[in-house]
Structure 1
Amino acid sequence: MPDIVTYKCPACGAPLEFNAGTQSWKCEYCASEFNEQQLQQAEPIEPEQAAPYDVREEEPENEEFNQNARAYSCPSCGAQIVTDDTTAATFCMFCHNPTILADRLSGSFKPTQLIPFRVQKEQAVESFLKWSKKPLVPKDFRSKAQLEKITGMYIPFWLFDCAVDQTLNAKATRVRSWRSGNTQYTETSHFAISREAEMEFVGVPADGSSKLDDQLMDLLEPYDYKDIKDFSMSYLSGYFAEKYDQDHNQVFPRIRNRVDQYGERRLRDTINGYSTVTVTNRSTQYQKADARYTLLPLFLLTYKYKNKDFLFAMNGQTGKVVGKLPLCIPKALAWFGSIAAAVFVILLIGGMFL
């Protein structure tokens, strides 16, 4: 049976949650706070054996749900916690007890590092309201029910450290013009250029979740790696967390593409003083490519409108926001109609005075 881990307050025994603002663990019941050293010195909590709930008996007709859903008993209130097969940390919807599914963070699924949250949920909500304050969004997009859905999550990432030998070949021209008497002369010189360098790239990221859009994850960068810490499950308390479903070999083509582009840009920047430069070919030989399984923080909100999914995401460390806003068609028609009416009135008044 799977192990469920919860972190309890050493003072009163209530659940502890990681506080991004103070970088400590706080008890919501007795208001006690503990730093990492104090938490480690406290009596360790043995994982509880969670009785699995047979989801297949409840929904025999839904094969996909049966294959991917898992349910466990909350160690605090006994309610059923239903997750999919990639969720590694969650909380009980009834008593809000933070729950970490330890078996999903073991073996090859155990991260080596993480970056803790620095942005609090209140800040994420404030940023969402500011970002979404547009006249043409649907009314319920900014509703209280929507705000409650903003979720702090740890997303699985692979950070690659790469050592490469890269070569680049290019054609360049240098144009010189001058006038002699009434004649204008132009001289174009052609050059073959070659560059070669040994380069190291540290911490090139690629998310390991097939559920999330890769382009969106790229837009949330950069993360500041100075905050990276050795992995401890205690940082997950109070947040959702996903384990990877794409391993380092599956995401490596994305890493290769990024390293190729970074390397070409750096070599291209060394070619100066020409009128035109055209890269003809490049090659990259990898001497080393080591991957570190790391969890990175973000806040996430999904919204379905007119059968389309819209998403708000925030970097949980830096506060950077990306997303796409829905457009309310009736509001848009009314807005453009009011503009057209105003323009018509102005033209009509102007015509009366002509």
Structure 2
Amino acid sequence: MSVVVYKCPHCGASLTFDADRQRWECKFCLGTFDKQTLEAYLASQKETNPDLEKPEEPEQVSAEEYVHEQVDEEFNRNARAYRCPDCGAEIVTDATTAATFCVFCHNPTIIPARLSGEYRPSQVIPFKISKEAAQKAFLNWCKRKPLVPPDFKSKPQLEKITGMYVPFWLYDCSVSATLRANAQKIRRWRSGNYEHTETKYYELYRDGDMSFAGIPADGSSKMEDKTMDLLEPYDYSQMVHFDMSYLSGYLAEKYDVDKEGVWPRVKEKVANDAVAQLMTTAKGYDAVQVTHQEVRIKSRKAHYTLLPVWMLMYKHGDKKYLFAMNGQTGKVVGKLPISIKRAIAWFCGIAAAVFTILFIASGVYYL
């Protein structure tokens, strides 16, 4: 199985995608290239050297040859090893990794076979938030949290923030929805010494056809579904046709949960949204009680795409904490760990301050 490294037209070094400038840059000669320039260069290279279209497949090294024979059975079953085209080192990945880095020369590497056939996405949203911006957002997120462990905000920890293209299924659905409900309008007024209440009762019926486009659900079993949901929404107007060059410099995963596997989650989202749309027509009532609701799916179509996410995993004690950022909009979600030592010190400090204030106040009173 072959791997791909996008090369600089000027010096031949590896290129990475710059989210800030939406260009590909060379860290070696500092050259920058837009998509049109890069595509023109690649096309010219293929014309002068047709063999580039059929690269020789590098030797694949099995997990059994790469690791010690005592490694566990799961690793043997899922690990894959490839040779880096730049330095010849072996790159070890799991079965779902589609883009990664060489641990020796740090060159970004893409595994085309993981992105071909049924695993080739139709579209991608390129990163709009740079790593530096993601690190700054992380520090701002922690700024007013005095109880987090000191090493949680340390420079080595910040360097672990990783940009990843997460596989998503985007569903387009056409539905028909029905809603029945009881509703009341209540009017109160006062006359002399008496207070009057008038309640009018209504039976509501709503029925409508609706279309939904781009309902997302991540297709990776590694990602926490709730966290991925909280990163929404993405701006689909910035989605482009998939090109492997956008992956250069980032990690990427191929899906391991297919479109049928995520459909129950999508179906629930669509049903909730359809009922919510019908409920918007039940305004002007003081109370509404839904007695029956039904959503019928008339058609559905899934699109496989990659969406950008900045991620940082942190282990504190025996728990893991995840910081995640929408790589397009900058929306942040996650949980922060609490340092027990800092919490105790903070509590003692507050208690001492309160005791001092009470002591002074008591002294002034007796004076």
Q: TM-score, normalised by structure 2?
A: 0.93
Matched residues in 2 for 1:238 and 1:325: separation? Answer: 28
Residues 130-158 of structure 1, C-alpha deviations (whole Å, 9 max, x = no match): 11222211111112221111000000000
Shift of 1:78: 1.3
Gaps of 5+ in 2: 47-51
Q: Counterparts in 2 of 1:41-52, with a 5 A limit?
A: 41-42=40-41, 43-44=45-46, 46=53, 47=55, 49-52=57-60
Matched residues in 2 for 1:313 and 1:183: separation? Answer: 59
Q: Counterparts in 2 of 1:68-107, with a 5 A limit?
A: 68-107=78-117
The corresponding residue for 1:16 is 15
Question: Secondary structure of the residue that 1:327 maps to in structure 2?
Answer: coil
The corresponding residue for 1:320 is 331
Question: Secondary structure of the residue that 2:246 maps to in structure 1?
Answer: helix
Q: Is it true that 1:167 corresponds to 2:178 in the alignment?
A: yes
Matched residues in 2 for 1:255 and 1:59: separation? Answer: 43
The corresponding residue for 2:26 is 27
The corresponding residue for 2:310 is 299
Question: Secondary structure of the residue that 1:157 maps to in structure 2?
Answer: strand
Matched residues in 2 for 1:335 and 1:185: separation? Answer: 55
Percent identity, please. 55
Matched residues in 1 for 2:301 and 2:174: separation? Answer: 9
Question: Secondary structure of the residue that 1:53 maps to in structure 2?
Answer: coil
Matched residues in 1 for 2:74 and 2:286: separation? Answer: 59
Q: Kindly provide the amino acid, as one letter, of the partner of residue 35 in structure 1.
A: D
Matched residues in 1 for 2:56 and 2:226: separation? Answer: 38
Q: Counterparts in 2 of 1:129-168, with a 5 A limit?
A: 129-133=139-143, 134-168=145-179
Question: Secondary structure of the residue that 2:3 maps to in structure 1?
Answer: strand
Question: Secondary structure of the residue that 2:12 maps to in structure 1?
Answer: coil
Question: Secondary structure of the residue that 2:353 maps to in structure 1?
Answer: helix
The corresponding residue for 1:224 is 235
Matched residues in 2 for 1:243 and 1:89: separation? Answer: 9
Q: Kindly provide the amino acid, as one letter, of the partner of residue 69 in structure 2.
A: P
Root mean square deviation of aligned Cα: 1.4
The corresponding residue for 2:61 is 53
Shift of 1:180: 5.6
Matched residues in 1 for 2:285 and 2:85: separation? Answer: 69
Matched residues in 1 for 2:204 and 2:107: separation? Answer: 63
Question: Secondary structure of the residue that 1:49 maps to in structure 2?
Answer: coil
Matched residues in 1 for 2:297 and 2:56: separation? Answer: 45
Is the 1:153–1:241 Cα contact (8 Å) retained in structure 2? Answer: yes
Q: Is it true that 1:114 corresponds to 2:124 in the alignment?
A: yes
Q: Is it true that 1:249 corresponds to 2:249 in the alignment?
A: no
Aligned residues: 353
Shift of 1:176: 3.0
Q: Kindly provide the amino acid, as one letter, of the partner of residue 55 in structure 1.
A: A
Shift of 1:74: 0.9
The corresponding residue for 1:265 is 276
Shift of 1:56: 2.2
The corresponding residue for 2:49 is none
Matched residues in 1 for 2:194 and 2:108: separation? Answer: 82
Q: Counterparts in 2 of 1:232-247, with a 5 A limit?
A: 232-247=243-258
Matched residues in 1 for 2:56 and 2:15: separation? Answer: 16
Shift of 1:183: 4.5
Residues 8-40 of structure 1, C-alpha deviations (whole Å, 9 max, x = no match): 111111111111111111111112211111111
Matched residues in 2 for 1:210 and 1:178: separation? Answer: 58
Matched residues in 1 for 2:337 and 2:38: separation? Answer: 44
